[in-house]
Chain A
């Protein structure tokens, strides 16, 4: 069964600190892995997309890593800001035809950054 598991479920850190969110998946065959940020009451916004051949990708203070062998990804947030408080969703895409149900969403990690 295609699954995406994220940990921790929730996390509280102090402003300015770093943190790392984890994502393990069993989706196969693998096409790409995406990290989204979802603010409360808003739609998800893409942070990074990584294909099989990419090990790391950065977007400002966000750095995502991918180990396709162990089927693990992480999202590292550097020098956290209050505005980083949100849910971070790991989404894995299955390589297939153009059918719609190719994305498997993780349950998300709820991050709260406190001053």
Chain B
């Protein structure tokens, strides 16, 4: 049973370009969460999705950032017109049960975005 798969593991973009980060949850998990981790800082919640629905996007910037979890395929975190401040590690986690307060969360290895 493969774990949470994220790709790419490393991504380099120039300012103004778009970044797309993908996350395939563990088999049987229908709840996906995205977190951002800046260097030397803790993880910060961005968005919580279920299949075809955004449940909570309160941690995601209103502009340039979007996320989706289609019926088929991985969850996508999309960052448009990247800026240097977007450089961070982006972690995806999945759970079988609804809500972070009940279900065990399994994390992917992260996607490290560097904006030049």
A interface, CB within 8 angstroms of B: 31-32, 36, 41-46, 49, 89, 93-103, 105-108
Chain B 85-112 near chain A by CB (<8 Å), digits 1 or 0: 0000001010000111110111111101
Cβ of B44 within 8 Å of any chain A Cβ, yes or no, is yes
Interface SS, A side: loop
Cβ B48 vs Cβ A43 within 8 A: no
- Residues in B61-82 with C-beta less than 8 Å from chain A: none
* Residue from A93, A97, A100 within 8 A of B58 (CB atoms): A100
Asked, given contacts A100-B55, A100-B58, A101-B48, whether A44 binds B43 with beta carbons under 8 Å apart, the answer is yes
* Residue from B47, B106, B110 within 8 A of A100 (CB atoms): B47
Cβ B43 vs Cβ A100 within 8 A: no
CB distance from B59 to the nearest CB of A (A): 6
In Å, the complex CA distance between A103 and B95 comes to 13
Chain B: residues with Cβ within 8 Å of the partner, total of 29
In Å, the complex CA distance between A101 and B41 comes to 18
CB distance from B99 to the nearest CB of A (A): 4
A99 CB contacts on chain B under 8 angstroms: 48, 55-56, 58, 99
In Å, the complex CA distance between A95 and B105 comes to 16
Asked, given contacts A43-B110, A44-B91, A49-B104, whether A97 binds B99 with beta carbons under 8 Å apart, the answer is yes
Taking CB as reference atom, which chain A residue is nearest B57? A100
Cβ B100 vs Cβ A93 within 8 A: yes
Cβ B58 vs Cβ A43 within 8 A: no
Cβ B42 vs Cβ A101 within 8 A: no
